[in-house]
Amino acid sequence: MSRIGLLIAALLLVPAVACSNGDPGTADVVNCPQPGPQFVINKVTLPKTKTDTAIDLNGDGRVDNQLGNIFSALSANGVDRQLAEDQAVEGGTATELLSIGAHDSSLQNDDSVSTVVNKAAAPTAPHHSVNAGFSGAGAHAPAQGQYDQGVGLPSSPVFDGTGHFTIDNGVGTALLCGKLSNGRFSSNNPVTTTHPVDMSIHLFGFPDVAITLHGAHMTYRVVPAVPPIVDGQINGSLKQSDLSHTVVPAIARDLNREVQSARGGTPAQQTRAQQIEAIFDVGDGAKGGPCTDPDYSPGQEGDAAKDGVISSCEVATNSLIKNVLAPDVQIFDSSGNYHPNAANTDKDSLSIGVGFTAVPANY
């Protein structure tokens, strides 16, 4: 039987049941097995609303996904992050790897299961291998995932179940322990866990920005197909301070990039650029002065209205989206320790959730 056939036989699962909080139980799984089958994420689905791919992160009984609100607000103003995410995954600049370890080879029911998440390394330089045989003839074709020197362009990731990848050792590994119940994996409950997991991912619609999810949680099932497909979601929380220093500048950078590329472009592109500038290049808005907000480095280039540059401050304080950039959950206590608070006394984080699919891979 082929490798893919064996995987299908081993991973055949029943359909998953919808779950609002992803709770596998209150007791943490801490001694989970070594990882086994390997997968690569081939699709990331960004949320469109606050309830898409949402779970309860702090025990208040409400499902949380502020990321959905952010993307909804951006989409309403013509900024499509799903397209950028698709291009990043398909181009290999935001590729995440998964490996699954379980005692139950059928992956149906198991009280100790591991899922390891790593970032895949992007190709770094043209590669060309030469046959070292006595004849000295013939150049080898580049391996999957490597550059072809003759073409000068990197090959795209292979998502047919045979792709080869390399782990990026410069990015930390996330180990999520959990359980399988009736074919569905759920990692330790982020509300009650005493072993919270931090996960660095490039799955935000901004492939050049790494974000750290705190209390990371994952659920998935494996869909029988050729090759088999892992279908699931990743949730966690993002500190407000990280949003200020990573996500908001990325939004501003992307808006500026779109405006700059549209200049000299088609009439439709120029109109789009004018719309973006009318919405975001507004300084402090109705007051007419430069944008001033101590969290976003006032005085930086672009803080003034209609200066042709959109600053982080202008994005963060923009009346159309500033409300969705606010924290919606309390995840840490006053000492900075992970301690979700259902009362939300001092909200400090934004809830995050994205969907994904993954296919078999080698690395």
Ranges of each domain in the chain: 31-120+157-245+326-360
Which two three-digit tokens encode residue 324? 């969705």
On average, the pLDDT of the chain sits at 81
Q: What is the CA radius of gyration of the chain?
A: 23
2 or 17: whose pLDDT is higher?
A: 2
Q: Which amino acid is at 190?
A: P
Would you place residue 57 in the very low, low, confident or very high pLDDT band (cuts 50, 70, 90)?
A: very high
Strand partners, 332: 338
Q: pTM surpassing 0.85? A: no
pLDDT tens-digit series, residues 217-266: 999 998 777 777 899 999 999 999 898 888 888 888 888 888 888 888 88
Burial of 130 (0-12, 13-18, 19+ CB in 10 A): exposed
Mean per-residue pLDDT, 182-187: 92
Q: Which amino acid is at 6?
A: L
Q: Which of 260, 256, 318, 320 is nearest to 291 (CA)?
A: 318
* Residues contacting 82, CB < 8 A, separation 6+: 45, 46, 71, 205
Quick one: pLDDT at residue 164?
A: 92
Would you place residue 206 in the very low, low, confident or very high pLDDT band (cuts 50, 70, 90)?
A: low
Task: Give the integer Cα–Cα distance in Å for 329 and 191.
Answer: 12
Q: SS3 string of the chain?
A: CCHHHHHHHHHCCCCCCCCCCCCCCCCCCCCCCCCCCEEEEEEEECCCCCCCCCECCCCCCCCECHHHHHHHHHHHCCCCHHHHHHHHHHHCCCCEEEEEEECCCCCCCEEEEEEEEEEECCCCCCCCCECCCCCCCCECCCCCCCEECCCCEECCCCCCCCCECCECCCCCCEEEEEEEECCEEEECCCCCCCCCCCEEECCCCCCCCCEEEEEEEEEEEEECCCCCEEEEEEEEEEEHHHHHHHHHHHHHHHHHHHHHHHCCCCHHHHHHHHHHHHHHCCCCHHHCCCCCCHHHCCCCCCCCCCCCCCCHHHHHCCCCCHHHHCCCEEEECCCCCEEEECCCCCCCEEEEEEEEEEEECEC
Name the least confident of 13-27, 111-125, 293-307.
13-27
pLDDT at residue 76 is higher than 50:
yes
* Residues contacting 228, CB < 8 A, separation 6+: 4, 7, 8, 11, 12, 161, 222, 359, 360
Work out the percent of the chain whose per-residue pLDDT is above 70. 79
Q: Which amino acid is at 256?
A: N
Q: Which of 182, 203, 180 is nearest to 355 (CA)?
A: 203
pLDDT at residue 168 is higher than 60:
yes
Judge contact between 290 and 304, C-beta under 8 A. Answer: yes
Mean per-residue pLDDT, 43-53: 94
